Structure formats: structure tokens, C-alpha cells
Homo-oligomer: A and B are copies of this chain.
Amino acid sequence: MNPLIRKLEQFVRLSPGDRTVLTRAAAERVRKFAPRFDISREGDSPKDVHLILSGWACRYKQLEDGRRQIVSFFLPGDMCDLNVFILKEMDHSIGTISEVTIADLPREFFDEIGAGYPRIATALWWETLVNAAIQREWTMNLGQRTASERMAHLLCEIFFRLRLAGLTEDHSCEFPLTQADLAEATGLSKVHVNRTLQELRAAKLIVLKGKALMVPDLERLMDAGLFNANYLHMDREGSQLDANE
């Protein structure tokens, strides 16, 4: 099932018609990319909005001297900025981590949504606002948290987001990031990422091996990362009303 629909339904109730439109859009113009491939580069002219159907990707920025920062991850069901196409150039690059399938959503798709699908429009605004909140939380993460807090926080975030898209199984999830990726995302060195992961393992907070992550006790990992899920805004619109139904 389409992870975007799954995710948006956590926030709004979609009608069968809403679901059809989203399913159709995600089926046209599908592209597949190998791992470690750039889908688009800083300076490119943005054309479509990309929707991740499967696999993990990231946005990153690079300084002239080569320093690289991953500024966000794209997990299945995530979309890059709505309306990007009004900008002249991309200010960052988008690259795959694992093998990735995307659907390119053209301008017209969003016109259609705006005109006739108010629930989807609201859900997409929610997505946009949550993405902004995530980016703020990363700022907090890099600015204030220590290495192990930061790592724990990032792992919590990924786990929550995957769960929302229906991609976790009990205490586990897929985890295709290398320690080098984690270093670029956390602003730590590779060596220190390694030390930090050992620390989290020693504290029995994570089991990370191969391309799989297990979180035996999410509450404890959240505490270790000073993680508060508020910023993911995982509560259904008007859920007060639902309670009265």
C-alpha cells in the first residue's frame, strides 16, 4: 500500500476518491534509481515534486571544500517541497541512499488537488508544516544535543516516521544508513559516530547490525535522546470531534 496515503490518513480522513487520485498520481511517471545516485543537484532547475515510493534518500548540501551535510532524510511516503517549481534553482541536492523508486508529480497535479480535493490539500499542508518542524528540530539537535543524545534523537525520529508510514515491524525496521551517512547527518565525525553507536549498544538502547535496526525499548531511547514527539504532529485533525462521533 502507498505509504503516502497511509501517512496522510493519520492526519485526515481521505475519501475513496481522494485515495484514487493519490494512487493514480503515484503510478504515473515512476522512476527507479540505484543506491548512491543523485536524483537532482544543487543548481538544477526544479521541475516536478518528487514523491518517494520506496527506498531511502536524502537532501544534502556541500561546501566548496567538500564538507557535506545531510539536511534531511526522505523515507517512503515523503515528498520534496510542494511548489518547488516556482524557484529558479535548487539550493541543495537530492541523493539516494538505497535503491529508490519515486513518482514525479507535475504542477498540474497540485492544481487539480487545489481545485477539487480539499482534504488532500489540507493533508499536504500538514506534511509541509511537519517537514518544517523536523528541520527546526534538526537545528536544535545539532546546536544543543551531545553526540549520543543527538544520535538517539535521530534514531527515534526515523523510527517514528517509518512507523507512521507503516514500515516498522514491532521493534524493528530496515536501516540502510552507513555510519558515514550518520556522520553527515549529525555533524559528527565517522569515528565518533562509531563510538556513539557502541555506547548506545552497550546501554542496550539499540541493536544495529547489517541493514536492520532494533529498538528494544523505545521509551528509553527517547529519554536518551531527549526526544519529544510533539514536533511530528501525529494527531489527527479535529480529533476532538472524532471523539464525539
Contacts and interface: CB of A to CB of B under 8 A. Distances in A.
23 contacts: A42-B230, A43-B230, A61-B136, A65-B226, A69-B143, A71-B139, A81-B132, A86-B122, A86-B237, A88-B235, A89-B233, A91-B133, A91-B137, A91-B233, A92-B133, A92-B136, A131-B132, A135-B135, A142-B142, A142-B143, A143-B186, A143-B187, A144-B187
A161 interface: no
Given A87-B129, A136-B59, A226-B64, A142 B187 contact: yes
A83 B127 CA distance: 11
A63 interface: yes
Q: How many copies does the complex hold?
A: 2
Given A72-B139, A86-B237, 11 more contacts: A61-B137, A63-B226, A65-B226, A71-B140, A86-B129, A91-B137, A91-B233, A92-B133, A128-B128, A135-B136, A139-B139
A31 interface: no
Contacts of A87: 126, 129, 233
Interface string A53-83: 0000001010111011101100000000111
Nearest to A136: B71
A231 interface: yes
B142 A63 contact: no
5 A-B pairs closest in CB distance = A143-B187, A142-B142, A91-B231, A135-B135, A69-B143
B86 A126 contact: yes
A125 interface: yes
Contacts of A92: 133, 136, 231
Contact of A83 (B72, B125, B133): B125
A138 interface: yes
Interface string A103-137: 00000000000000000001001101101110111
